[in-house]
Structure 1
Amino acid sequence: MFAGYIQACRGLMIAAVCLGFFGSIFSLVGMKCTKIGGTDKSKARIACFAGVNFILSGLCSLSACSLYAHRITSEFFDPMYIAQKYELGAALFIGWAGSILCILGGSIFCFSITDSFTKSRSQVKYIYKGAASHSHISSYPRGHANSINQRPPPDYSGSSRTQHFDKNAYV
């Protein structure tokens, strides 16, 4: 009943939808903010696999739209073709744009996620400068004090604690 190219386009579009669905599931599992998926290295692999699924989905969709458009244009410009002729419509242009966006998104997702996951957390160097108590922190505006420890800590041995606070004392 249907021509072979329509069946091929239908199969490619179904494959594109399935690959896109599984790519979205894998991308949810491969993100840093989810708890499932294992270690950072396994999450990077899952995220890269999701990006590859998005790229393959875009390629399937691009192939289906292009195959259908080629058949439509070849029938339209054939003078010997006497059946009803079709023109390229908005659905083909939306399909091309969506497939290109899917390819670009999958490649950006694959490269950006794997790039951030390859930097191990053990390689990050943290410098501990010691704890600063509230009494040693300068109350001068920014740029007026030379050092954080410029003033000695206040003496609380006086009769009342409220006399040592400045104008901005909150209870």
Structure 2
Amino acid sequence: MRKRLIQIFAFLISSLGWVFVLCTMAMDFWRITQIGGQGGSFIIKVAWYWSNLWKDCFTDSTAVTNCRDFPVLWSVAAYVQGVRGLLMCGLTLGFFAVVLCFIGMDCTYIGGADKTKDKVLLAGSVFHIAGGVSDLAAYCLYINRIARTTFSARVGPGVLRYDLGPPLFLGLVGCFLIFLGAVMYAVTVFRVFCPKSQVVYAYGGGTYMNPRSRGRTLYTGYYRPAGQYASYMGSGRSSSSKISKLSQTTPTKNSLRDAFV
């Protein structure tokens, strides 16, 4: 029951993370900067320059926005193309990860035996991690581009210094949720890495295996190694000789009883 709850919670967390990442691709204000109205200036008009993965825009104080859509693919800046490609790759891996994890969860009745479902769930968690790394690389690439321009001392006075926008922070939170869900998936199927080991003892030319059940009956009994019990200090006869003598006398008693009957 605890395993199912952890898997359901991991499914919700990881799915929410992918929703965050998907939303960032359509959001505005990936980078933003403003001009005027700062430091006690008497300039009333304030202008905002902002960009996303698809266009550059300008908004004035009257809330009028003018945008320039990015043209065809090969004329876009290289880092924007890289961010797009990494996000698309991460979302594709995330789709397969969600499907595999849904099949491998204990609360679903598809996927086969328990061992097979655990392997499928483990594969889904690996896809989650790979997709999360791809998305994280995309956000880090965009942040690095903004930071290089903002903190560079060689940038001229006419170059805009942008700040980080809300989609970047939302995407980083989404990556964290994806990694958290993948780790929770992997914790529930750690037996795939560390299967239960059985202790095997060797004694007297035979072997002894530690059984799964602790109970012991007349027909399912077993012999433990000689070191686990105290040695017999008796008249000198060993237990094996007694067992052989008992096996020799048993047929005689049975024959006398049959003759009497």
Range of TM-score over shorter length: 0.5 to 0.7
> 1:94 matched to which residue of 2?
170
> 1:49 matched to which residue of 2?
123
TM-aligned CA distance change 1:69 to 1:42, over 3 Å? same
Q: Which of 21, 24, 29 is the matching residue for 2:95?
A: 21
**Runs of at least 5 residues in structure 1 that lack an aligned partner in the other structure:** 128-171
> 2:160 matched to which residue of 1?
84
Equivalent residues in 2 for 1:159-170, closer than 5 Å: none
**Runs of at least 5 residues in structure 2 that lack an aligned partner in the other structure:** 1-74, 197-210, 216-261
State the TM-score, normalized to the length of structure 2: 0.43
How many residue pairs get aligned? The number is 124
Question: Is 1:112 matched with 2:188?
Answer: yes
> Is the Cα–Cα contact under 8 Å of residues 48 and 111 in structure 1 kept in the other structure?
no
Identity of aligned residues (%): 33
1:113 positional shift: 3.4
> 1:142 matched to which residue of 2?
none
1:71 positional shift: 0.5
Q: Helix, strand or coil for the counterpart of 1:33?
A: coil
> 2:86 matched to which residue of 1?
12
Measure, in 1, the Cα distance between the counterparts of 2:101 and 2:127: 10
Point out the structure with the larger strand share: 2
Tell me which structure has the larger Cα radius of gyration. Answer: 2
Q: Which of 58, 61, 65 is the matching residue for 2:139?
A: 65
Which is worse superposed, 76-85 or 15-24?
A: 76-85
Measure, in 2, the Cα distance between the counterparts of 1:35 and 1:126: 32
Measure, in 2, the Cα distance between the counterparts of 1:114 and 1:46: 13
Moved over 4 A (4+): 123-127
Measure, in 1, the Cα distance between the counterparts of 2:89 and 2:184: 21
Point out the structure with the larger helix share: 1
State the TM-score, normalized to the length of structure 1: 0.64
Measure, in 2, the Cα distance between the counterparts of 1:72 and 1:98: 20
> Is the Cα–Cα contact under 8 Å of residues 58 and 99 in structure 1 kept in the other structure?
yes
Question: Is 1:38 matched with 2:116?
Answer: no
Measure, in 2, the Cα distance between the counterparts of 1:2 and 1:46: 39
